[in-house]
A = this chain, B = another copy of it.
Amino acid sequence: MLRVVTIDEASRELEERFSNLPLTTETVPLLEGFGRYLAAPVISHGAVPPFSRSTKDGYAVRAVETAGAGETMPALFALLPAVEMGKGYDHEIGPGQAAYVPTGGMIPPGADGVVMIEYSEDLNVNEIALSRPCALGENIIFQGQDMKQDQEILSSGHRLTASDLGAVAACGNDTVVVYKRPRLALFSSGDELRLTGEELGPGCIRDINTVTVAAEAVKMGFDVVKTAILKDDPGVFLSALEEAREEADIIIVSGGSSAGKKDYTSSTFDAMGGEGTFVHGIAFNPGKPTILANCDGFPLVGLPGHPVSAWMVFRIIGAAFIRLFHRTGESLAPQIEASLGENLHAAPGRDTFKPVMITKQPGGEYEARPVPGDSGMITLLSQAQGYIHIPRGTEGIIKGTLCRVYLL
């Protein structure tokens, strides 16, 4: 019989078996690191900023010499050559001396404060009057104040965002060490399925799961190395899966995951050796007939054949494997807060995930309504913008309640 577990139990069972999934690493140019997972911490190659810089247009001075300066009694300084952007500076600011420094320019040696240009008056080409005092370190960002040399900037397992890449560039790295993408072999099973582009004979329908799961998988960070349809034949199943095992890090099969006589997914997983099937069924709606199996440390997943279920289950199970492959924790799931436009009923005893449409109300708030039609309908896929999670043990959610909607 099916061994049915909750989502949390399924996660724990996966962690117990797959916390050491092997992935090789590679070094890629900075911009190619976008969306990839760090396989080593990012360490600053140098101090940031690399030299003390002015945060304002103004005059670099010895701050103590501006003490008491004011409009009626400005402090006078002899001008040294101006600091230029992108160049070194050969002079040292001595007593009674000042130098113009633009925003971002290098603070000359000897200076320890900057008076903004607004408080200066040119007396002649060699002399300047400053009418405000500055404190020690005022308008300066010191060498290494932002990041120190050899400081850890980002930790291993982190998924790189656009702004992260800026921080990585700032500290002198032009490459990042990332995990290779986990290679996914993806099958749909069923004699009636045809890939897009193939002719659709009598009794045949389009395969949808290789499309939705592949696209979702690429978004998550998988490398989809193979997609194919499996005929309902145990010999075909076994040879296809054993071949795929040589070129992939994980195999996912949709369909054939119930316990009917033509459902070969679980028996094939068992025939591949090792522990075999350890979960057969997750208390999840839509999507109960989900299989998790372990072939000597190689992960095998059976998704429901039903397109809405396959895609929903993959979003949960695929994300769990992304965490396991990259030895990282849960990421922040993009969501919006929306008020419920009608009552939602849950499936008893299961975690229920309800596809919803979202509309912006005149006041700027969002409203979510379940996509009409039953869960067998494909239009659910094209009309939903997100889904609401109703936890196990909750009967439903009342119209008007503010809910988290997870965005697609």
Contact = CB atoms under 8 A, between A and B. Distances in A.
A366 B333 CA distance: 12
A241 to B, nearest CB: 20
B163 A86 contact: no
A96 interface: no
A262 B102 contact: yes
Contacts of A46: 200
B51 A166 contact: no
A335 B88 CA distance: 44
A69 to B, nearest CB: 24
Interface string A31-62: 10011000000000010111101010100000
Contacts of A133: none
B163 A384 contact: yes
A236 interface: no
A392 B168 CA distance: 32
A143 to B, nearest CB: 11
B84 A203 contact: yes
Contact of A166 (B161, B166, B373, B378): B378
A145 B374 CA distance: 11
A23 interface: no
A57 B165 CA distance: 53
B219 A34 contact: yes
A328 interface: no
Contacts of A334: 334-336, 407
Interface in A152-193: 153-154, 161-174, 190-193
Interface stretch (A206-214, A268-276, A291-299, A340-348): A206-214
Given A89-B203, A166-B378, 19 more contacts: A31-B215, A50-B200, A50-B205, A86-B191, A87-B201, A102-B260, A104-B190, A146-B377, A146-B379, A163-B384, A166-B311, A166-B381, A170-B206, A170-B378, A172-B196, A330-B360, A332-B358, A332-B385, A332-B407
